[in-house]
A and B are shown apart, each in its own frame.
Chain A
Amino acid sequence: MKSTSALIDVADLSVRYARGELPVLRDVSFSMDPGESIALVGDSGCGKSTLALTMMRLLPADAMVRGSIVLGERGGSGPIDILGTDERTMQSVRGKRIAMVFQNPIGSLDPVMRVGDQILEVILAGRKSARSATRSKALQLLERVGIADPSRLARAWPHELSGGMAQRVTLAMALAGEPELLIADEPTSALDGNVQAQIVELICECRRDSGLSLLLITHDMAVADALASRVCVMNENRIVDDLPIEAANASNRHAATRRLVEAAASKRQKVAATMDGGR
């Protein structure tokens, strides 16, 4: 435990699977301050999602984890050693201190349960409160993520939602436990362009309202630019660069960082060119 003031401190984290040859994470270390927003960028398969799941302790049973993850103290409770603590404590961490939003918003909702019931379930998890109070809290949450007619949406089934709507719902569920840290794993990758912008804007708003810290996993530097103040670049299962977002454009960076920055730049140019051509 380096500093007790950190929100979360990951040190020398390595993960490998019992049946796999190669490690999926190698000596990953980074630390987040309260309120900070970090983008974790890198090519697909470089271990970004594994890192997120390890931080929630949601890896499959055959994963072998070394290193340490320490969640800082809050409200009288001391620091929590995520990898060493018991399952009951983890339940009170998941959703309540660290929440997570996934890439496939519709797939992360149970297809045979109404949207409203799923939100209620999350609000009620590990808590005893009146049903009616919970209901109005669920509607408030839906309103907060920009849903115009919350009571109608609460009666809908997940398959009736568009991707953007579903991502708003999962965001509402993530906010239900008033977490300190939101891990967003490719929250916009499965969405249409204009919906992507809306979700990015929404995450920005939530951060402004509640001082939420954000660990954004993405391979899109444009999204990272919009949401994060710091970038951790992952390449081949380790963190190769950890720097303020403005510095990512400098030329003396790691090859993987340069590649991602160039990819984002060429995408911007292409979009601009297409728009010019259309006029």
Chain B
Amino acid sequence: MTSCGLDCRTPTPHDNPLQHRQNGVWHYLLKRILLTIPTFVGIVLLTFVVIHLAPGSPATGTVGGFGESGVSAANHDRLREHFELDAPVTKRFGRWIMRVACFDFGQSFADGQPVSKRIIERVYPTLILTFSIIVIALLIVIPVAAYAALNAGGFVDKVILGACVGLYAIPPYVFGMLLILVVGVALDWFPFSGLTSEDHAQMNGWQRLVDLINHSVLIGACILYPLVAYLVPFVRATMLAVLKEDFVRAAFARGLSRRRVIFRHVLPNTLRPLLTVMGLIVPAVLGGSVVLEVMFSWPGMGRLLYESILQRDYPVIMGMTVLSAVIVLGVTLIVDVLYALADPRVRYA
């Protein structure tokens, strides 16, 4: 999805770059925003086609797309008419996109509520969880990876790398099952189902927050560990490559302290590639949340998408797609802009 933006990152030489500095960032930003539009249209079109090609229909029953339908032929036709499914796909797409242009995503086939309302109440938990976990992951990854890189080949480095490979090899749904059985059921340390306790409504603000966090610990751990296990070797390898660069040796030769070389020269150059990877990780985490949210009965975006797909609730699916596309493209855009700010060589491309 980001492929159309990739060639923007290849720097090209300029005759006199000192002259072009002023508008560099804005020019770059505008170009990136314009490139986002066709990508967005492509995603939305593709999803619309795929979901309408999938077997089953909202008119054959409210749950499940396969098997015998309990709906009579007359009701089936009425429902098709009610959901406007009798029109050709092209016409339906036209109507839908016109409404989306006015921020009207329609009503859910499942319960008749506005799609926007259904989605919004599910978005907050997932987004807050995802971004907190990413921040926690970075707080763990950067120091651990830096330590491993600076002591590369040593015992601790080998233990860290081994642990990462081992953890990354465990699928999150297996790890999640283990957590539910051991930490949730046997030890009873954390709740493993839902987002709130039954008596959540009676709690005060502070207790509510603790309750929400308690309900997010296990699912959060399932999102966190693969991220850490993936990023630590990546950051370590990047840092090892930076440590071999000429400018690092030159900085030492100029009499700078080890601490200064590492914090002012090695780390900034290590974190730039990490920024790119973060742009790819956000969609992966959001996608992975579908399985985990279903497993932990956690009322987030992922579970809403899962339920809507089972019910062939086209308006909700399409609404979710638009939202995911906006989030992912937004994150990619932010990453690109941050990248341009972090690396002067990107701006003039």
Q: Do A and B come from one complex?
A: yes
Give min CB distance, A269 to chain B, whole Å: 34
Judge whether B272 and A112 touch: CB under 8 Å: yes
Judge whether B246 and A104 touch: CB under 8 Å: yes
Judge whether A110 and B269 touch: CB under 8 Å: yes
Give min CB distance, A161 to chain B, whole Å: 10
Judge whether B11 and A111 touch: CB under 8 Å: no
Judge whether A125 and B250 touch: CB under 8 Å: no
Give min CB distance, B4 to chain A, whole Å: 25
If over half of B's interface residues share one DSSP class (helix, strand or loop), that class is named, otherwise mixed; here it is: helix
Q: Tell which of A125, A156, A159, A177 touches B257, judged by Cβ atoms closer than 8 Å.
A: A125
Which residues of chain A in 76-115 are interfacial with respect to chain B, using CB atoms and an 8 Å cutoff? Answer: 87, 91-96, 99-100, 102, 104, 107-113
Give min CB distance, A209 to chain B, whole Å: 20
Bound complex: CA A109 to CA B249 (Å): 10
Judge whether A96 and B255 touch: CB under 8 Å: yes
Judge whether B18 and A126 touch: CB under 8 Å: no
Judge whether B343 and A108 touch: CB under 8 Å: no
Total number of residue pairs linking A and B with CB closer than 8 Å: 88
Residues on B with beta carbons closer than 8 Å to the beta carbon of A12:
none
Residues on A with beta carbons closer than 8 Å to the beta carbon of B255:
91-96, 122, 125-126, 177
- Is the interface on chain A under 10, 10 to 19, 20 to 34, or 35 or more residues? 35 or more
Q: Considering only CB atoms and an 8 Å cut-off, how many residues of chain B contact the other chain? A: 26
Which residues of chain B in 246-267 are interfacial with respect to chain A, using CB atoms and an 8 Å cutoff? Answer: 246-247, 249-258, 260, 264-265
Judge whether B17 and A95 touch: CB under 8 Å: no
Q: Does A56 contact B (CB under 8 A)?
A: yes
Q: Does B245 contact A (CB under 8 A)?
A: yes
Which residues of chain B in 222-260 are interfacial with respect to chain A, using CB atoms and an 8 Å cutoff? Answer: 245-247, 249-258, 260
Bound complex: CA A125 to CA B256 (Å): 6
Query: A112-B269, A112-B343, A160-B18 known; A107 and B252 CB under 8 Å?
Result: no
Between-chain CB contacts (< 8 Å), 11 pairs: A58-B252, A92-B255, A102-B246, A102-B249, A107-B245, A110-B269, A112-B343, A113-B265, A122-B255, A125-B254, A176-B254
Assuming A94-B253, A125-B255, what are 7 further A-B pairs, CB within 8 angstroms?
A94-B254, A108-B249, A110-B269, A111-B344, A112-B343, A121-B264, A157-B344
